[in-house]
Amino acid sequence: MKRKDMLGLRDSTAEEIGLILDTAARFRSVSERRIKKVPTLRGRTIVTAFFEDSTRTRLSFDVAAKRLSADTLGFSASSSSTKKGETLMDTARNLDAMKPDAIVIRHPCAGAPHMLAQAFPWSVLNAGDGINEHPSQALLDMLTMRDHLGSLAGRTVAIVGDVYHSRVARSNLYGLPKVGARVLLAGPGTMCRPQMARPGVELLHRVDDVLAEADVIMMLRIQRERLAPGMMSTSREYARFYGLDLERLERARPEVLVMHPGPINRGVEMSPDVADGDRSVILEQVTNGVAVRMALMYLLLGGEPLPPGGDDAAAS
């Protein structure tokens, strides 16, 4: 891959997305071995810098780097000098002085990873910047869809809930049309805004209107930490109009896939019986996340495209 950084899917091509997903499919088998490690990135140093809370994404990047034999250093804003008033640029200059090869960053400000990518020579992987993008999540979503549906061209993905404040949705909105998928959006007017519609992306608002046509239903968490006052009524009302429960799921195709990036607010955007039900591929998304992040680190740090073959190559 020619690029130094992975900042978002807005400027990625269908070919790059295909290369990342194919490479991820090849790396999956490493996590199935008893010794879950390959020497690919031995001697390289990868920093995970999380200025916002995270469970899955942080652990997933960390384990992905370790399975490639990279040395990992991690810090979070709550336990670092950010609390003492250090700016992002000062923190980054200090990290730079330790000669890392790549930095995985999550930050509440949209554009923070882009700033570091311009200022420093190491690779920057965006693990979520404010409401902007979360490309590795959208890529793991696509890999999970591809496992079940084959090619995504002509498939319909419904994204439901707080689309406007979701960086996961935004990366999917950039990525899915590039691989030929059609996206339908449903959610309250404050969370699903008209300017989000574009070629390949339609806004329908009502959940029942998107369900019947969907091959995939992606439910989103309400981004309470990013909502302005008055943007939402009560959780109970939200669940009634926009939540996915078994009764509503019956209106979808029987083979529909139910996805969620996590963390789930059970009983709000999704009922527990749907989250744990037989249409849910939520934990497959987590497993695929490790492979996608291995692929991203491998490709950004100079790895050549892997030749076709191997067990997992057949998955696509």
Query: Which one among 262, 267, 303, 310 touches ligand NCD, defined by CB under 6 A?
Result: 262
How many residues of this chain bind ligand NCD (CB under 6 A)? 10
Report residue 247 as tokens: 């009764």
- The answer to whether 183 and 157 are in contact (CB under 8 A) is yes
Report residue 204 as tokens: 């329908």
Q: Minimum Å distance from CB 206 to ligand NCD?
A: 22
- Selecting among 34, 83, 84, 99, the annotated active-site residue is 84
> Which positions from 116 through 145 interact with ligand NCD, judged by CB under 6 A?
128, 134, 137
Q: Can 84 be counted among the known catalytic residues?
A: yes
Q: Can 134 be counted among the known catalytic residues?
A: yes
**184 φ, ψ (degrees, to nearest 5):** -115, 135
Q: Whole-angstrom Cα distance, residue 263 to residue 275?
A: 11
Residues with Cβ within 8 Å of 54's Cβ and at least 6 positions away in sequence, in order, are 106, 127, 128
Query: Which one among 168, 169, 210, 214 touches ligand NCD, defined by CB under 6 A?
Result: 168
Q: Can 155 be counted among the known catalytic residues?
A: no
Q: Whole-angstrom Cα distance, residue 285 to residue 145?
A: 9
Q: Can 56 be counted among the known catalytic residues?
A: yes
- Selecting among 23, 57, 91, 156, the annotated active-site residue is 57
Q: Does 113 bind ligand NCD (CB under 6 A)?
A: no
Q: Can 205 be counted among the known catalytic residues?
A: no
Q: Whole-angstrom Cα distance, residue 210 to residue 97?
A: 51
Q: Does 171 bind ligand NCD (CB under 6 A)?
A: no
**Residue bearing tokens 């979808």:** 252
Q: Does 165 bind ligand NCD (CB under 6 A)?
A: no
The residue among 54 and 316 lying less far from ligand NCD, judged by its C-beta, is: 54
Q: Whole-angstrom Cα distance, residue 261 to residue 265?
A: 11
Q: Does 170 bind ligand NCD (CB under 6 A)?
A: no
- Selecting among 4, 56, 226, 253, the annotated active-site residue is 56
x-or-dash pattern for ligand NCD, window 56-85, by CB under 6 A? xx----------------------------
> Which positions from 199 through 238 interact with ligand NCD, judged by CB under 6 A?
221
Q: Minimum Å distance from CB 128 to ligand NCD?
A: 5
Q: Does 243 bind ligand NCD (CB under 6 A)?
A: no
Other beta carbons less than 10 A from residue 201's beta carbon: 20
CA atoms within 13 A on the CB side of 71: 7
Query: Taken in order 212, 213, 219, 222, is the CA torsion positive or negative?
Result: negative
- Selecting among 26, 28, 58, 106, the annotated active-site residue is 106
Q: Whole-angstrom Cα distance, residue 125 to residue 117?
A: 9
Q: Does 18 bind ligand NCD (CB under 6 A)?
A: no
- Residue 10 burial by Cβ neighbours in a 10 Å radius (0-12, 13-18, 19+): middle
Q: Does 261 bind ligand NCD (CB under 6 A)?
A: yes
Query: In the complex, which residues of this chain contact ligand NCD (CB under 6 A)?
Result: 56-57, 128, 134, 137, 167-168, 221, 261-262
Residues involved in catalysis = 56-57, 84, 106, 134
